[in-house]
Amino acid sequence: MDVLKEQDVQKYWEEGYLVLEGLLTPAECDALRQRMSEIIERMDVPEHCRIQFSTDHDEQLKTQGNADYFITSGDKIRFFFEKGVFDEKGDFVVPRERSLNKVGHALHAHEPLYKAITHSPKVQSIAKKLDLINPVILQSMYIFKQPDIGGEVTPHQDATFLYTEPLGRVMGVWIALEDATLDNGCLWFIPGSHKSGITRRMVRTPKGTFPLTDFVGREQNYDEKLFIPAPVKKGGAVLIHGEVVHRSAENTSASSRHVYTFHIMESHNTCWSPENWLQPTEQLPFPCLYT
């Protein structure tokens, strides 16, 4: 099963991303969405953990409880909310299914439907075509991009948060469970930007200190004219090199933009940084993609 053609492989390595149509069927997309609805229905989140997710300045990490909730989420299923969905008492001001920014970071380990998609023959075929010898799953997320309130994701590189030595060993697989359009917040990329390294890293701070994470270095300023949109139809996917610069705009439309995404690392001859916020645990070592 060759999902990628040779020209696709070449395009991915040259531009740092690749749009693939039809990775999942509409029925598979609908099943993943339905299962997430069931997860949300029984969602029970402690008051102090009703945190708002931001890639801009990690507002969610400003209190000890919130920081703990985030940094220990790598082997669990936890909930991260959009801005403005709670009142001053911590009560929802929107329906709970419209409140979430994302759910992460171990759907691939604890939810059979998500696990099956993550380890599917199609995804394994992609990794093999890219000559990955021993790819492992780092994390997974369900991203909602809620209508009218779906927040902006500012320009960034995934390697800022998922750092390896050498660089270039991480790839995101971003699967559209609904059409991702110019109106509802599709991804935008700077083609070729994965060839210039990174200038910022998110690292764990020394044990016993607060905050639990900090940034080393600074994000560059990017010319808006360099960004190219990557809309994709329901069931399509975008492969994202760990160093390519990408962003998405706010969703001010009436349509949501649900996505299931996960990150793969080539573990062969690769050092996963012990300073990364995300670490394998005894309960959940990074599972091999090929099993």
Check which CATH number belongs to the domain holding 268 and give it. Answer: 2.60.120.620
- The first and second tokens of residue 260, run together, are 């299931």
Q: Is 283 inside a domain boundary?
A: no
- Asked whether residue 285 is domain-assigned, the answer is no
Query: Angle CA(156)–CA(162)–CA(166) in degrees, nearest 5?
Result: 105
Determine which helix (DSSP H) or strand (DSSP E) holds 261, and give its type and residue range: strand 259-266
How many folded domains does the chain comprise? 1
pLDDT in tens, 96-155: 889 899 999 999 999 999 999 999 999 999 999 999 999 999 999 999 999 988 889 999
**How much of the chain is helix, strand and coil, in % rounded to 5?**
25, 25, 50
Domain assignment of residue 70, yes or no:
yes
Q: Is omega for the bond preceding 105 within 30 degrees of 0, making it cis?
A: yes
Residue closest to 242 by CA, chosen among 13, 10, 6, 11 = 13
CB atoms closer than 10 angstroms to residue 95: 9
Nearest alpha-carbon partner for 242 in 274, 212, 276: 276
Cα separation, 72 vs 78, whole angstroms = 10
The domain of 104 spans: 6-272
Over the stretch 149-201, which tens digit does the pLDDT of each residue have? 888 999 999 999 999 999 999 999 999 999 999 999 999 999 999 999 999 99
Predicted TM-score of the model (pTM): 0.94
